[in-house]
Chain A
């Protein structure tokens, strides 16, 4: 038996062991997810109160509605001006069919400033949506805190008392803007400035809701914290802002999830994640993204990492019609480190542009990027990456690995890494492979009585396993379930 066969059999054993675990009566929280859960729509009569399209009055209205300080209104208006002058990106998928006039940029389903204190208080329909998505159950069983956003505003945030006693803050960013004004003012849109690109500018103008996470010096949060963002109405736009500050010596793990029902009409998500990781700290940001295929997901995620600190990005991108998402690590401090792990699944009608950007600035910095993509049913997945080693980055080490699986002859995969090295002490490596499912592996499984579609799903799960295993068990189950849903029917 060849070494590859031995490895393959080991993967299968692990996979079968996991299936047995999943069959136990106390089944994992997200194992029951189905297409119906994500496509479920609540009534959205409230949307009639809000206009579509974007103008200066709307920007002023949002700020007034939230009773924001003057500096925030000024930032919003400055961002709006940038939005009007900056062009659409010149790379990536075609975005001209995105009609800004048809998007509703701000809508509230439940007009409750500061959200609800308990799940019991959350309006029935909204609560039901989050219950089906498993959020309250996850909060009870595996999380240290949870946030939930519905349309433009957060409706619920909670954190374990033990953590809040240690000074950890986990709340709605709209609340934080008032309650922790100085902290927010110091960091808000300093990592992603509004003039960075057109969608950062749009975000700066109409941002609403999102999460504020602050972990004070030396505090280690062992259980993950999660926020879930849900769009419900047709033609909705969601622009939540996630601001994360990890002080020196602190540690934490934050998970984001998102979804929306399908209407056959455009929706837009242009969120922004800013992470500041202090010295000797460690932070992991995970996301399981499952927007509907109506959604243009044009998200900006960026972290600045100080001395001897570590940032880890783990991302699963399943949904969206058009996606542009390139999490970015700025390795500013000496000895800082970034790990990017990502999966992108492009199914019928989907264009998934994902990747990673890493800037090595400090000395002795290192980065490792592993991206895996799957294309099926005519889907297009593109890895676009940027790796820059600055003149100051002595002894930088960078490694990028991209693997793409194309499951049928009508799907496509592109790999576009951009590598720029300005320091002669750097060591940079990039590797990419594109191929299809190995026929011998499929034959091996089918000859042992496993139906072909299941065999293909098992091999795909094995392919993404190096990324999925980095998620907490419950979320690994969710990711596997989402992949299974994508693999159901019409595997080519």
Chain B
């Protein structure tokens, strides 16, 4: 990638256009009524020590697309990434973030999403590297029948410090969706997950759920988890749940009695814990295997 470009998009699809709007700002737009079959890969300039980039993503009506943002580097970087996503009526967007930066890197990642009528937006966030991560995802459904889904899988180890704020806000009727956040903390890792579902006064008929499950695997690691509900009307189904546990002794015993050594047993149980999230991208076999391998 030329040093002057902050990010790169690998597609030759004529319906997809990436434009540099100003020094730090890019606009990615996809024309109405297009089904983009191949996922769009966005990669970031890994040669700049300080990378600051804004990206506006405009998803046209009736568009179906998968976008993958890949944060990878070989030298430590400080990255500030801010994206604003506008999903038009009846669009279907799957947005995958894969982050495996070096252990000295810092990432601040803010994503703001606005979904119009019947738009379906699904964010999947796999955060595995970097020393410091501050990741914020704010999804808002502006019109009725908006579907907002967010999945997070993160792991903090060594002395990593990761914080995630994820919120789904329903401003109109009959919205739906869920947030599932799964985190693993080991070594001296510090992990904070704040999830929130807000349903406004005119968000009647909405069905939303939030789940935050964490595995705390070491003495020196810690986890802070806060799932919030802000509900301003009665005609809704909303709930949340959270758990923080270690690997289940009974399951470890079950595997041990069947001749599986402790290390393998723990590996199997952790794989089981992360599988729910990773298998959501089973159509992207290469990326899926990469994540399994890292974890």
Contact = CB atoms under 8 A, between A and B. Distances in A.
B226 A432 contact: no
A418 interface: yes
B229 A432 contact: yes
B229 A414 contact: yes
Given A409-B235, A436-B235, A428 B244 contact: yes
For the complex of A and B, 10 pairs with smallest distance between CB atoms: A406-B234, A436-B234, A430-B242, A415-B229, A428-B244, A433-B239, A412-B232, A421-B244, A434-B238, A431-B241
A408 B227 CA distance: 24
Given A410-B201, A431-B242, 10 more contacts: A409-B204, A409-B233, A419-B225, A420-B222, A427-B244, A427-B246, A428-B244, A430-B227, A430-B241, A492-B234
Nearest to B209: A433
A434 B244 contact: no
B219 interface: yes
Contacts of B245: 426-428
B224 interface: yes
Interface in B202-247: 204, 214, 216-219, 221-246
Contacts, number: 113
Contacts of B243: 427-430
Contact of A424 (B218, B231, B232): B218
Q: What does DSSP make chain A's interface, helix, strand, loop or mixed? A: strand
A432 B239 contact: yes
A413 to B, nearest CB: 5
Contact of B223 (A416, A421, A427, A434): A421
B240 A422 contact: no
Q: What does DSSP make chain B's interface, helix, strand, loop or mixed? A: strand
A434 B204 contact: no
A425 to B, nearest CB: 6
| Interface residue tally on B, bucketed by range | 20 to 34
Given A424-B218, A426-B245, A431-B239, A409 B234 contact: yes
B150 to A, nearest CB: 18
Contacts of A420: 222-225
B235 to A, nearest CB: 6
Contact of B226 (A406, A410, A412, A416): A416
A429 B245 CA distance: 8
A430 B193 CA distance: 14
- Max chain A C-beta neighbours (<10 A), residue from B218, B219, B221, B227: B227
Nearest to A380: B232
A412 B223 CA distance: 29
Interface of B: 201, 204, 214, 216-219, 221-246
A427 to B, nearest CB: 5
Nearest to A399: B243
A435 B222 CA distance: 33
A363 to B, nearest CB: 14
B219 A391 contact: yes
A433 B222 CA distance: 27
B35 to A, nearest CB: 37
Contacts of B231: 404, 406, 412-414, 434
A475 to B, nearest CB: 29
Nearest to A424: B216
Contacts of B235: 409, 436
Contacts of A129: none
B266 to A, nearest CB: 13
Given A412-B231, A413-B231, A424 B246 contact: yes
B234 A418 contact: no
Given A409-B201, A412-B232, A424-B217, A417 B237 contact: no
A29 B53 CA distance: 70
A414 B228 contact: yes
B154 to A, nearest CB: 16
A436 B216 CA distance: 35
A435 B229 CA distance: 12
- Max chain A C-beta neighbours (<10 A), residue from B225, B232, B234, B239: B234
A395 to B, nearest CB: 10
A426 B215 CA distance: 10
Contacts of A413: 229, 231
Contacts of B219: 391, 423-424
